[in-house]
Amino acid sequence: MSINLIDAQGDILITNRKYVITGATSGIGNALAVRFSKNNVVFAGYRNKDFVENLKKISSNIIPFYIDMEEKGSISRAAEYIKSQADKIDVLVNAAGYVVGGAMESVDVDDIRKQFEVNVFSHLDFSQQLLPVLKDKIINISSMASFGIFPFIAPYCASKRSLDILFNLMQIEMSAKSALKIVSVKPGVIATALWGKSMELNKKSIEKAKDGYAEAIEYLRESAYKNQTNGLNVEKVVDLIVKIDSCRRPKSSYTIGADAKVAAIFSMLPQRLVNFMVKKLLHQKIKR
């Protein structure tokens, strides 16, 4: 049973729960592991073995587990391991992810396949396998990219939209037989290593896109590096997720950040108007 209190700083304090977090070695997943492990058990997913000791140092409440979201066998082994250690998990946070970008006319389709493997299929696979022990919530770290209005990161946008559609319909289908809540958190730009890493991972697509889109790609490159410091502080996302976790009836979708809220409003406009505005903004930014 969980006991929700307010601590001396006025923050919500959640205790005695069990969490599983993927992508726990960095950024949002890591910040969540730090916060939740203060008073709860956290199964923290890592891919890079160099980070295991860092995870263990955070708290003795952290139980690291290996998971490579690109590898089906690894996902199954991770789920089996967790089920062997706990007969009940309160919350699964699907946080692992990365960004595939480039120009849609030249981006390698295999890179898009991998984007969907990591950002969508792996989360569905892992969640399905953990369902027998999941008691309260699945919280997916989606993105404002799910609103589908960001040129040159179309594969990322499509992956986040797909993640949201698949899990939202899962929630509707399961509602008659299960109390499990499924929540999509759609952050705007957050100050993590995600964007810088993406520039490295997308070198090939970026080079290809320079042929015809040099200014746009240069603008995106500059923004990506700025995002790492200019984005919203990751603790704001953690605060929101703690709030969602303490809710008995959370909403199915939350945006966080002024940029994400604007993107949400944009996405409600007619497609023709959205496209007009996105093109105008893109051309304005490139001309600067």
Ligand X SMILES: NC(=O)c1ccc[n+]([C@@H]2O[C@H](COP(=O)([O-])OP(=O)(O)OC[C@H]3O[C@@H](n4cnc5c(N)ncnc54)[C@H](OP(=O)(O)O)[C@@H]3O)[C@@H](O)[C@H]2O)c1
Q: How far apart are CB 111 and ligand X at their closest, in Å?
A: 13
Choice from 18, 19, 21, 25 touching ligand X (CB under 6 A): 25
- Residue 62 pairs in a beta bridge with 42
Q: How far apart are CB 64 and ligand X at their closest, in Å?
A: 12
Q: How far apart are CB 6 and ligand X at their closest, in Å?
A: 27
Instruction: Give me the 107-126 binding string for ligand X, x by CB under 6 A, dash otherwise.
Output: -----------x--------
By CB under 6 A, is residue 155 in contact with ligand X?
Answer: no
- Nearest residue by C-beta to ligand X? 27
By CB under 6 A, is residue 241 in contact with ligand X?
Answer: no
Site for ligand X in 181-240 (CB under 6 A): 187, 189-190, 192-194, 197, 227, 231
- Closest CB to ligand X among residues 69, 107: 69
The three-state DSSP-derived secondary structure of the chain is: CCEEEECCCCCEEEECCEEEECCCCCHHHHHHHHHHCCCCEEEEEECCHHHHHHHHHHCCCEEEEECCCCCHHHHHHHHHHHHHHCCCEEEEEECCCCCCCCCCCCCCHHHHHHHHHHHHHHHHHHHHHHHHHEEEEEEEECCHHHHCCCCCCHHHHHHHHHHHHHHHHHHHHHCCCCCCEEEEEEECCECCCHHHHHHHHCHHHHHHHHHHHHHHHHHHHHHHHHHHHHCECHHHHHHHHHHHHHCCCCCCEEEECHHHHHHHHHCCCCHHHHHHHHHHHHHHHHHC
By CB under 6 A, is residue 149 in contact with ligand X?
Answer: no
Q: How far apart are CB 188 and ligand X at their closest, in Å?
A: 7
Q: How far apart are CB 218 and ligand X at their closest, in Å?
A: 20
> Which residues, other chains included, contact 93 with Cβ-Cβ below 8 Å and sequence gap of 6+?
19, 20, 21, 22, 29, 32, 139, 140, 141, 241
- Closest CB to ligand X among residues 13, 262: 262
Instruction: Give me the 256-285 binding string for ligand X, x by CB under 6 A, dash otherwise.
Output: ------------------------------
Instruction: Give me the 52-91 binding string for ligand X, x by CB under 6 A, dash otherwise.
Output: ---------------xxxx---------------------
By CB under 6 A, is residue 96 in contact with ligand X?
Answer: yes
Contacts with ligand X, residue ranges (CB under 6 A): 23, 25-29, 47-48, 67-70, 95-98, 118, 141, 143, 187, 189-190, 192-194, 197, 227, 231
